[in-house]
Amino acid sequence: MKAVAEKLTIRDFEAKKPGWCPGCGDYGIYAALRNAFVQLGLHPEQIVLVGGIGCSGKIADYIRTYSVHTLHGRILPVATGIKLANPHLVVIGVGGDGDAYAIGMSHLIHTGRRNPDITYIVMDNQIYGLTKGQASPTSEQGMMTPASPYGSKEGPVDGVSIALSAGATFVARGFAGNPKELAEIIKRAIQHKGFSFVDALSPCVTFNRINTYDWFRERIVPFPEKTGGYTRDEALAQVLQIRSQGKIPTGIIYEEEGPSYEEEILTDPDRPIAHLDLTPKPEFWDLLKRYQ
């Protein structure tokens, strides 16, 4: 491993060659993530990637950092636990739209209200790719897939609106087809002290023939800037207005400062959860005996 003082390149973050389909949007996110690390001067031993299930979850195996490949929908509690165990690590969760907005939805909401200093990147391709094309929570209503031959009957959810409503202190959306802009968004997300949420639009070229690169480019619009920034309610209202026009807002949508979860719990960041004495006190056992 290179000395910590030496600046690395994106090649220093390559663990093994990705195995996604040629043209998959996940390659753009893979490039943007590594570029963000280089721009921030980070080194592999400073970072933990927490991946979920599906095509997106494999990214934790492809980038040379510490990594955990966890269960479907459980990225955020694992990432939060890692941050509490060692607040000095840069902790990044990377999952898919099914991971984040289906089985993992409750964890997204509770992580938003807790505000741990972690970054969550959702690789949103509007379909379940690894399991051969089921409609996902972000699939458009009526979308026909191999597993939904009569069209999806449910309406889609919007991850950015959910993150804003949940209380995330940094909310953004990027596009895998513009990895340079996405790298800047991810860099800002990592620098933010608190829960950073990034919805990364990632076309699935094999199972989603509707939401293609061209489809996204026709609909993506920059989120309008406002001097002094938006309040949370104003940002949410602006997102909903843009979506009602059939457009998809991208860029940094909301950011605010606030105490992180680990700051609330750990009075001394050099004595994280892993180093605390959690032995139950005698009165605990006395209380327990009363209910046996």
Please report which confidence band the pLDDT of residue 278 belongs to, taking 50, 70 and 90 as the band edges: low
Question: Biggest alpha carbon distance in the chain?
Answer: 66
pLDDT at 182 over 80: yes
Q: For residues 185 and 268, which has the higher predicted lDDT (pLDDT)?
A: 185
Arithmetic mean of pLDDT, 11-30: 95
Arithmetic mean of pLDDT, 211-229: 96
pLDDT in tens, 189-209: 999 999 999 999 999 999 999
Give me the residue label for tokens 């590594």.
34
**SS3 state of residue 170:** strand
Q: For residues 128 and 48, which has the higher predicted lDDT (pLDDT)?
A: 48
The residue type found at 56 is: S
Contact predicate 8/65, CB 8 Å: no
- CA distance linking residue 95 with residue 99, whole number of Å: 6
- CA distance linking residue 153 with residue 146, whole number of Å: 14
Beta-bridge partners for 51: 69, 94
Give me the residue label for tokens 């920034």.
229
**Do β-strands 66-69 and 47-51 pair in parallel, antiparallel, or remain unpaired?**
parallel
Percentage of residues in the chain having pLDDT higher than 90? 75
**SS3 state of residue 259:** coil
* Average per-residue pLDDT for the chain: 91
Contact predicate 26/19, CB 8 Å: no
pLDDT at 268 over 80: no
pLDDT at 274 over 70: no
Give me the residue label for tokens 């060659």.
17
Among residues 208, 228, 210, 230, the alpha carbon closest in space to that of 218 is found at: 210
pLDDT at 43 over 50: yes
Percentage of residues in the chain having pLDDT higher than 70? 95
pLDDT at 1 over 50: no
Length of the chain: 292
Q: For 67, which DSSP code?
A: E
All structural domains of the chain: 10-290 (3.40.50.970)
pLDDT at 115 over 90: yes
Please report which confidence band the pLDDT of residue 147 belongs to, taking 50, 70 and 90 as the band edges: confident
What is the per-residue pLDDT for 269? 66
* 278 contacts: CB under 8 Å, gap ≥ 6: none
Q: What single string gives the DSSP state of each residue in 173-221?
A: EEETT-HHHHHHHHHHHHHSSS-EEEEEE---TTT-SSS-HHHHHHHEE
